[in-house]
Amino acid sequence: MATNANKIVGALSAKVDLLLFDTKNQISAQYRLVSDLLSNNEYEFKIASNSLDKASPLKILSKGYAKVLKCGEDVVGVDEVQVGDRVKIVLSDGMIGATVTDKE
């Protein structure tokens, strides 16, 4: 009788060990998958962040560029201003009021 019980316990123990082994492998595989996904998302986030940083208006102004406004509207060409017009020049650290004295 004890021998049958030992066999049953041994068989159950082997099945439990196999189930635990399979479960550990599944968890490890899922962990690797999630870890890979997070790494890929982190990489894509860094690329998007760098792209946004490069396109940032403040970043562009900090390189010495300026934005010119006339009556609150962007000036993108010399044809949009006349000698004597008042304009605002937007820099990275503030604005300058100016009067157009000539244009080329």
What range defines the domain where residue 29 resides?
A: 2-55
**Residue linked to tokens 């159950």:** 12
Residue 31: enclosing H or E segment and its boundaries?
A: helix 2-55
Choice among 8-17, 39-48, 62-71, 83-92 with the minimum mean pLDDT: 8-17
Q: Which residues contact 80 (CB under 8 A, 6 or more apart)?
A: 70
Beta strands in 1-104 (DSSP E): 67-70, 73-74, 86-91, 94-99
Query: What's the chain's average pLDDT?
Result: 92
Residues 45 and 80 in one domain: no
- Cα 79 versus chain centre, distance: 39
Q: Is the pLDDT of residue 84 over 70?
A: yes
Residue 104 maps to a domain: no
Residues 38 and 51 in one domain: yes
Residues 9 and 44 in one domain: yes
**pTM > 0.95: yes or no:** no
Residues 90 and 76 in one domain: yes
Residues 14 and 34 in one domain: yes
